[in-house]
């Protein structure tokens, strides 16, 4: 996955912008890991919209071994 192959300079680059707020790769990965911290393997249902929460939920599931 793309988050495993990034270099240390990528973390500070802008990953997405929502409502005028810029989120770096590091910001999104930290939020996504916090969302699923301590969750065991399983299936996650994500109600999708065009927003930061959907991106965080989806990437968090993938990064933590869950099936979105």
DSSP 6-66: --TTGGGSEEEEETTEEEEHHHHHHHHHHHTTTPPS-B------SSHHHHHHHHHHHHTT-
Q: At what angle do helices 25-35 and 52-63 cross, to 10 degrees?
A: 70
Mean pLDDT of the 49-58 span: 94
Check residues 21 and 2 and name the one with the higher pLDDT: 21
Q: Which residues contact 17 (CB under 8 A, 6 or more apart)?
A: 23
pTM for the full predicted model = 0.81
Predicted confidence (pLDDT) per residue in 22-40, tens digit: 999 999 999 999 998 888 7
């Amino acid at each position: 996955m793309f988050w495993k192959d990034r270099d240390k300079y990528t973390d500070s680059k802008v990953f997405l912008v929502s409502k005028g707020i810029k989120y770096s790769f590091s910001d999104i990965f930290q939020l996504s890991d916090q969302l699923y911290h301590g969750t065991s393997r399983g299936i996650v249902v994500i109600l999708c919209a065009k927003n930061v929460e959907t991106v965080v939920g989806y990437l968090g599931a993938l990064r933590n071994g869950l099936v979105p």
